[in-house]
Amino acid sequence: MKAGVLTAVRSIEHQQCPIPVPGTGEVRIKMKSVGICGSDVSIFQGHRPDLTFPLIIGHEGIGHVDKLGNGVNQLKLGDRVVIEPNYPCGHCDYCWQGRSNICVNKRIIGVLETGCFAECAVVPAQFAWPIPASISDEDAVVIEPTAVALHTIYSSPARPGDAVAVVGLGAIGLLVVHLAQKMGYTVLAYDRVQEKVDLAADFGAIPVPADADTAQIAAIWKEARVHTVFECAGAAPAFTMAVEAAPRGAYVVVAGLSDKPSAIAEFGMTRQGISIITSIIYQHPVDFRRTIGLIESGFIQPGRIISARESFDNLASALEMACTGQHSKILLEI
């Protein structure tokens, strides 16, 4: 099969690899579409020095089951499925606490093991979710990042009717905007790229000017009585700004994954009563189930964040496009 293999930092190439064979409890999926995630970009750019090459990256994928491993009876050949790419162990202390998102034994395809920038991928059957016929491919392929956004919102004590702010309007930020607006929150959206602010406005958010400075943003958030700030940029300066501009007593939910230190003064943060909450991926299996239900009901249409479609043959150039930060979601057709 053809696979996109990362051989070094910022170097990815198509290679012919053996077609994987599913083991007991696994299924093989003939991939159809895969989204490029911010973490794929981070790995491609070399921000994960703990990883080893070569590695097939990619984890936001849909396709059809084309081979069943022994013991699999909940799926059948031809089923259209979406991959849940984080596999908690189910038996560590954190899984038992209902915190599978920080499982110490968690397996992550496309990061710690072979991913799905390939013609075929093998996954445990319990992490291949059947997609209802009423859900389009465009909505299905972004189920995974939508589950991340849903968990991000659920991590906050804010409730419908409250005002919330979103900083960073990549895929997760835009999906937080979309979900929160549909759920009845008042949403203020900010990004340094005006086109992304405009897209958030199309989702119903109140746009914060892309050229606003921290003091201006603080004034806008204070007037709107922002309860929670969702930091989805994954950049240290964005986190610093989110904390400094947050109104007194506000919560800052950190969903971004910056690998650089921020410049936060503990004194000011503490005196203002700012609470920091972290949010990472989602809880298995409940957040995926909820996400699929919300899409199936027509409540949300997350495929609207797709900004470009590229052939799998153009994987390298598509990753370079993603590195510019101008796109909300690039889709690879395999």
Residues forming beta bridges with residue 333, ordered by sequence position? 33, 311
Low-confidence residues in the chain, pLDDT < 70: none
Q: Does 151 reside within a domain?
A: no
Question: Which amino acid appears at position 113 of this protein?
Answer: E
292, 266: one domain:
no
Domain of residue 218, residue span: 156-278
pLDDT tens-place string over residues 214-227: 999 999 999 999 99
Q: Do residues 294 and 269 share a domain?
A: no
The pTM (predicted TM-score) of the whole model is: 0.97
Q: What is the pLDDT of residue 222?
A: 98
| 54 within a domain of the structure (yes/no) | yes
With b for 16 or more beta-carbon neighbours within 10 A and e for fewer, the 236-270 pattern comes to bebbbbbbbbbbeebbbbbbbebeeebebeeeebe
Whether residue 235 sits in one domain with residue 186: yes
Tell me, yes or no, whether 261 and 113 share the same domain.
no
Query: Which residues, in sequence order, are bridge partners of residue 86?
Result: 108
CATH number of domain containing 132: 3.90.180.10
235 belongs to a structural domain: yes
Residue 49: the pLDDT is: 83
Q: Both ends of the chain: CA-CA distance in Å? A: 11
Question: How many domains are contained in the chain?
Answer: 2
Query: Do 6 and 136 have their domain in common?
Result: yes
Q: Which residues pair with 118 in a beta bridge?
A: 3
Angle CA(53)–CA(55)–CA(61) in degrees, nearest 5?
160
Q: What is the SS3 assignment for the chain?
A: CEEEEEEECCEEEEEECCCCCCCCCEEEEEEEEEEECHHHHHHHCCCCCCCCCCEECCCEEEEEEEEECCCCCCCCCCCEEEECCEECCCCCHHHHCCCHHHCCCCEEECCCECCCCECEEEEEHHHEEECCCCCCHHHHCCHHHHHHHHHHHHCCCCCECEEEEEECCCHHHHHHHHHHHHHCCEEEEECCCHHHHHHHHHCCCEECCCCCCHHHHHHHHHHHCEEEEEECCCCHHHHHHHHHHCCCCCEEEECCCCCCCCCCCHHHHHHCCCEEEECCCCCCCHHHHHHHHHHHCCCCCHHHHCCEEEEHHHHHHHHHHHHCCCCCCEEEEC
Residue 87: inside a domain:
yes
Instruction: Give pLDDT, residue 202.
Output: 97
Residue count (the chain): 334
- CA distances in angstroms from 174 to 31, 67, 146, 205, 240, listed in the order given: 25, 35, 10, 10, 20
Residues 226 and 323 reside in one and the same domain: no
Whether residues 127 and 31 fall in one domain = yes
Q: Which amino acid is at 83?
A: I
Residue 269 φ then ψ, to 5°: -60, -40
Closest CA to 186 of 222, 154, 149, 160: 160
Q: Do 121 and 75 sit in the same domain of this protein? A: yes
CB-CB contact of 116 with 109 (8 Å): yes
Q: Is residue 174 domain-shared with residue 232, that is, in the same domain?
A: yes
| Domain stops at, among 255, 278, 301 | 278
What was the pLDDT predicted at 263?
86
**Is residue 150 in some structural domain?**
no
Task: Give the pLDDT of residue 265.
Answer: 84
The answer on 321 and 261 residing in a single domain is no
Both 110 and 227 in one domain: the answer is no
CATH of the domain at 222: 3.40.50.720
Last residue within a domain, chosen from 278, 303, 322: 278
Same domain membership, residue 286 and residue 273: no
Residue type, 103: C
Torsion sign over Cα 304, 309, 315, 317? negative
